[in-house]
Amino acid sequence: MIPESFIQELLHRVDVVDVVERFVKLKKAGSNYAACCPFHSEKTPSFTVSPAKQFYHCFGCGAHGTAIGFLMEYAGLGFVEAVKDLAQGVGMQVPEVQADAVHAKSGGEDLHTVLLTAARYYRAQLKDAPQAIAYLKQRGLSGDIAKKFGIGYAPSVWQGLAAAFDDYNAKTLVAAGLVKQTDEGKRYDVFRDRIIFPIVDARGNVIGFGGRVMEKDASGPKYLNSPETAVFEKGRELYGLYQARRAIREADRVIVVEGYMDVVALAQHGVEYAVATLGTATTPAHVQKLLRQADEIVFCFDGDNAGRRAAWRALENSLTQLQDGKRVGFLFLPQGEDPDTYVRQHGKESFEKLLAAALPLSRYFLEELQSRGDASTAEGRAALVNDAKPLLKQMPPTTFRVQLVKEVAQAARLTTSEVEELCDIPPTVAKKTAPTRAVPARPLPPGIAQRLMRVLVHQPALAVLTPERRALLDSDESLLPVAALVDHIAAHDISSTAALFESTKDSPYGPQYEAAAAEGLVDALPEEIAQAELDLQLRLLETQCVEAEYERLVGASQLDEAGREQFLRIQKRLAELKGVPTVGVDSPR
C-alpha cells in the first residue's frame, strides 16, 4: 500500500492543469481553466479545472477528481499506475513500486522509442504492399480506419527492421519483442508477412504488436502477439481501448471481443466502443479497467464451445469486480459468425439490436450452473450449490450478490440463509442503527451543515477546532459528515483540498464532500472570509443547541441545585450569543 503521506506530497507537487492538458486543450477562465468535457459530448464548455484547489469538475455530467482521478478515469489507469505516472513526471519514487520504477527508468523509455520506430516502419511498408492493401480492402476497411488504428505491414523478409534501426544488434530490439536471436547468435524479425496492429497503452504509447496472417493456409499461428516486456503486460492491456475511450463514455458501454479484426471492423461500421483481449483470457484487471470507463460491459464471443469457455472465464473474473450499478452481459453470435463477419453482412443497427438483447450475467450464471446437472433431483440441486459456492464467495458484499444468492436458493429449493451458510457467505447484515445523539428540539437552521462542509473542504486548515466546538458537531445527525470530515483532517494532517479529495474517496460521505468541493469551485472563499463563515455557522449551531437546553430546563418540573446552576450558565451563554441582557430573569424552581 502506498503511504498516504506520499500521496499528499505527490498532489502537492503535481499541477492538475498540466496533467489534464496532456489530453484536453484548456482555456483560461478567470482563476480557473475551462474546456468541453472529455467525459461526455457537449458544445458549451462546462469542464472546469482549478489550479488553486487542484481538482477538476464538470458541471454538465458531474465528473470530478484530482490529477490521480483524472488519469484513472480518462486514461483508464489503475490507482498505482496513475500514481507511478505522476510520480515519474515530478521525479518522485513510489515507495511500494520502487523496483518497478527503477526497471522502467532503465528500460521503459527506450522501449517506447524503439516500438514507436517499429510502428512507423510497419505503416510505411503498408503503402508499398499491394497484397496487404488488397486484403484490408477485401475485409471492408477504409484508409481512414487503417490510419486511426495505425495498421501496418511486416514484409516477408528475415531482417526487415534492419532498415528502420541503425543497430540491428541492439539489445533493446530483443527486449522490445521485435527480434529473436538463435543460440548461434543469428537474429531475425519476429513479425514477417503479416498485417500489423500496434497495441497502444492508455497514454498513447506503442507497447507491442499483433500480427495477422493474410492467407488461411499460411504457416504459423493465425495471430501472433508481442511477448510480455517491461512495458507490455497482456493481462492488463486491451487492444483498441485508447481509440475507443470517447465512444465508450458516450455509449456508457464497452464490448469485449476476441480479435483485432473484430475491433477494427466494428469501428469501421460505426460501433466504435469495442476492445479485445490480447491472446489471453479476460482477467480481473481487464474488467476493473473497463468498469472505470463505462457502467456496462458486453462480452461478445462465438457461440461454439471455445467461445462459451471464454465467456465463462470472463464471468468468473468479473464477479470480483462487480459493484451495484454496474452491468455485465454476454452475447453469443450465431454459429459460424464473429463480430467482423456479422457487422459486415448485417450492419450496425442489426448488431446493436443483438447487443440490447445480450444475456445478463445473472441469467447466464444460473443457466450455466443448471445445465450441468438435473435440477429436478436432489443430487442435481446439491451440485448446483456446490458449483456456485466458490463463485459467490469471491463476490464483494453487494446488493447484487444478495440477489444472486436468492436466485441460487430458489433454484436449489433452499432458503437464502441455508445457501449463505452452505457457501460460507456472511449473512446479510441489517443496517446498523446510528448511535443516539442529543438532537436539538427544533431542526437546524437550513444549510448549516452544507456551509460548514464547504468551508472545511476548501480550507482544511480551519478544521482545527476546540473540544467545545468539536462537540457541537455531535448534536445532530445532519452534521455526521461534517464531524467525520473534521476528525479525518485532524487524524491525517490534511493540508490541501486535493489531498482531502483523494483520501476520502472511499468514505461513505465522499460524494457529499465532492459535491461541496464542486459547489465552491468557481467562487472559492478566501481564507479570512472562510474563517468568518465558519465562526458564523458554529455560532448559529451553538445557539440552536443552547436554546434547546434552555427550553428543556425551563420545562423541567423541578431542578436541584446543580440544575439551577446549569440553568444560569445556559441563560447567560444564550444571552451572550443573542446579545441581550439577562437581568430580571429567574431560574425555574
The CATH number of the domain holding residue 383 is: 1.20.50
Look at residue 498 in the predicted model and tell me its pLDDT.
Answer: 83
Give the Å distances, CA to CA, from 376 to 258, 379, 384, 422, 423. 36, 9, 11, 20, 21
Asked if residue 230 is part of any domain, the answer here is no
The reply to whether 145 and 254 lie within a common domain is no
Which tens digit of pLDDT belongs to each residue from 120-170? 999 999 999 999 999 999 999 999 999 999 999 999 999 999 999 999 999
Structure-derived torsion over alpha carbons of residues 70, 93, 209, 184, reported in degrees to the nearest 10? 180
Q: Does pLDDT of 466 surpass 90?
A: no
Which tens digit of pLDDT belongs to each residue from 311-368? 999 999 999 998 888 999 999 998 889 999 999 999 999 999 999 999 999 999 999 9
Q: Residue 507 is part of which domain span? A: 448-578
The CATH number of the domain holding residue 177 is: 3.90.980.10
Which tens digit of pLDDT belongs to each residue from 394-447? 998 889 999 999 999 999 999 999 999 999 987 754 444 444 344 344 455 557
The reply to whether 299 and 414 lie within a common domain is no
Cα gap 320→252, rounded to integer Å: 21
The reply to whether 377 and 355 lie within a common domain is no
Asked if residue 390 is part of any domain, the answer here is yes
Are the CB atoms for 93 and 87 separated by under 8 Å? Answer: yes
The reply to whether 116 and 36 lie within a common domain is no
Are the CB atoms for 297 and 290 separated by under 8 Å? Answer: yes
**Environment class of 92 (CB within 10 Å of its CB; exposed 0-12, middle 13-18, buried 19+):** middle
> Average pLDDT, stretch 212-216?
87
- Give strand pairing partners of 100: none
- Positive or negative, the CA dihedral 337, 338, 339, 343 is negative
The reply to whether 379 and 356 lie within a common domain is no
The CATH number of the domain holding residue 26 is: 3.90.580.10
Asked if residue 221 is part of any domain, the answer here is yes
Percent of the chain, pLDDT > 90?
Answer: 46
Look at residue 450 in the predicted model and tell me its pLDDT.
Answer: 83
The reply to whether 453 and 564 lie within a common domain is yes
The reply to whether 504 and 457 lie within a common domain is yes
Cα gap 165→326, rounded to integer Å: 47
- Total count of domains within the chain: 5
Give the Å distances, CA to CA, from 465 to 60, 87, 307, 460, 490. 36, 34, 61, 11, 9
The CATH number of the domain holding residue 259 is: 3.40.1360.10
Asked if residue 9 is part of any domain, the answer here is yes
Closest residue by Cα to residue 256 from 204, 328, 335? 328
Which tens digit of pLDDT belongs to each residue from 270-285? 999 999 999 889 999 9
Q: Kindly report the CA angle at 439 between 434 and 440, in degrees rounded to 5? A: 165
> Average pLDDT, stretch 200-221?
85
Look at residue 266 in the predicted model and tell me its pLDDT.
Answer: 97
Conformation bin of residue 277: beta by default, left when phi > 0, alpha when psi is -120 to 50: beta
Look at residue 138 in the predicted model and tell me its pLDDT.
Answer: 94
The reply to whether 40 and 125 lie within a common domain is no
Look at residue 555 in the predicted model and tell me its pLDDT.
Answer: 65
Asked if residue 589 is part of any domain, the answer here is no
Cα gap 100→486, rounded to integer Å: 36
Least confident of 203-207, 295-299, 415-419: 203-207
Q: Kindly report the CA angle at 205 between 339 and 266, in degrees rounded to 5? A: 15
- The average confidence (pLDDT) of the chain is 85
Closest residue by Cα to residue 391 from 427, 414, 361, 430? 361
Residues 6+ apart with CB under 8 A from 95: 2, 3, 6
Q: Does pLDDT of 546 surpass 80?
A: no
Residue 582 banded pLDDT, cuts 50, 70, 90: very low
- Domain end marker among 162, 193, 225: 225
Look at residue 115 in the predicted model and tell me its pLDDT.
Answer: 95
Give the Å distances, CA to CA, from 192 to 105, 141, 160, 168, 219. 30, 21, 8, 16, 11
Grid cell of 46 as nine digits: 462546462
Least confident of 4-18, 175-189, 438-452: 438-452
Greater confidence (564 vs 540) lies with: 540
Asked if residue 538 is part of any domain, the answer here is yes
Which tens digit of pLDDT belongs to each residue from 28-80? 988 899 999 887 777 888 899 988 888 898 888 777 889 998 988 787 676 77
The reply to whether 33 and 71 lie within a common domain is yes
Grid cell of 289 as nine digits: 479497467
Give the Å distances, CA to CA, from 219 to 67, 174, 178, 195, 279. 48, 23, 19, 14, 18
Asked if residue 99 is part of any domain, the answer here is no
The CATH number of the domain holding residue 500 is: 1.10.860.10
The reply to whether 514 and 537 lie within a common domain is yes
Asked if residue 8 is part of any domain, the answer here is yes
| Cα-trace Rg, the chain | 31
Least confident of 8-17, 194-203, 383-392, 553-562: 553-562
Give the Å distances, CA to CA, from 563 to 47, 549, 568. 57, 11, 9
The reply to whether 126 and 177 lie within a common domain is yes
The reply to whether 475 and 512 lie within a common domain is yes
